[in-house]
Structure 1
């Protein structure tokens, strides 16, 4: 079996971490039990480009139990847990190509190692696997049955491809499932981002000014949790509807150009590039802390920051100190990459349980329906979304009401009024 991980001797530690995560992933565990009996993925090759974490390990285990051959590479150079990668190879016979801190060339060689296996289904987080396949192996892309995409950034890229008529196979946008973005993006990102910031800095949030750049679901979760820690939260936005919502939620809303002068912490969660730029760095207070929790490391313009700096040094693990020409110091966390995964452990397993349950069930859906699907981006089927929610509630021991026949009739008729 081909693989490329840092050190197989880390496998025992990784196995324990995988087991720990599994204890809080009851929905995925139920799906794995179903897959083990029914083998709905028998004979299928799956190429996955995901954060190599304990939660991901339980997803790929589930897919393998369903009968699939799974090949895994990292979707971010700083999110890999080397112990988990080793455990997947040693104890589950899953080929993994991922090493924490790998350079760009190694990163793409790992993607190509997965694509060399000729997968019929792809699972992506950020769309690097899909874009590489389309750019470098267009003939191979034509033969892929379908794929899934985990995150907002990837869905944006894939919808752009579909709009231009370039997408060569159907993709299900798992990110757009209600049981994904309402929970994973909001509660997962909110908690794990603060976890990463605190692990990296050990700074007090209470009383600070915390600037959240972007008020999508990730931004909403981050703002909510930062406020809960006692920070005074400022939101910056380009969308008037989201900005208005932030105002109604009680946050200060202003342009980043103004927020730059008062912020102690800055975190980007936009999915766009060059959000924090040269003009903002020059206005920041001495000691400002800057980080990113959007998928790619393009949200903070580090190139311009280096150009206006006289010195860069690592002052603490995951913290780089930039001394500006004006004498001020700016601190960047985790090289501008996902701070929640680079400086912490990513989303808690309890919320990834729903996201990865969607992934597993959508892969099963593609296997059953790929012959009728078009080359476009699909939403997660409603029945899958609701099934995940029901399984999660049941696992939590929570029961809910059901509509009476009279209520069902009322909701589907028009005759009855005041």
Structure 2
């Protein structure tokens, strides 16, 4: 029988890529982002006692009832709020309200005008706009360790800029003695390695997660460095009015007061067109869900011109626009709210710091702003479990998992650029029952 020749098989064509490179980067980032899983299963003493108790997200619920009562009594929508109103950069009423509020509370050297203000749906969008406007793909922004973790995604995920962490090697990152040399070293090393420019320095003042304000000398040194290298200085001042009295570990005489960059005379320090300030409703007014942020750029008209098209993607809801404008023009309400909020933050800090002291858990002292403490759970764990020899990132991951096993969520220090594994950010801006349950779970986890 003659042989039968086989028909050659047709090669299977390769599958087309489902995602772009950017899309795949987002897929990879999304796999590690557990925040939304956590907030969909949040603890409640009555309705969800088995849920996850979060002291990791920077939300301030201490004044929610006061804010809700005001919003419900003062929300008045009209037909213009069902239209595009005055466009995607914020309504005239909202930009005027923000300018009015900043002129009262931030003590600007040059009066803030509505034309200086760009409104966005939260400060993450604001940061992304700045990164997109000033950085080409592969160009960099300097960010000192430790830092607010979401700055990285805001600056890089869609704009395709690069964050260059500035190592502090155990020195105080707010100290003027260490700042310039370390920022300049990080910038020069990146440019030498990649041939790409460093375009900006990103600050969070008051600092997240350290809960302190930058001294004037440090800010001046950074302004001069930015001028020398023609970098933008972006100051996120979203905790500006959440500054309060530390009654536990004191040190007020060594605490720098909050000074907005808007309040500074920039003459001889930096070209004003390189300076940009951000603020929003999320923190000082405990209203993350309103999604209202602002960029104040007083001397860079072209930036505002660019946002005529870019701001379409960060349009503030007309309802949030109206609510925020109403709040920020009511001076009696905002003055009373800010004072009450600061007093409650001080009391909540005193409780959490007191519990940490009682149980011998180390934390960064001298905090007087924001909602959080920078806490060394790793050191306490080592004391309790000297037999455990786990090191490095695996050590930090292990403690984090023990916390999650107890259904208490804290902010992972590694994501915040911690140079030493074992540090975490704990948020105290919650009512006492929430904090009591959280501390009980933290202690169970590390014990």
Q: Using structure 2 for the length normalisation, give the TM-score.
A: 0.30
- Bigger Cα Rg: 2
Which structure has more relative contact order (CA 8 Å, sep 6+)? It is 2
Larger relative strand fraction: 1
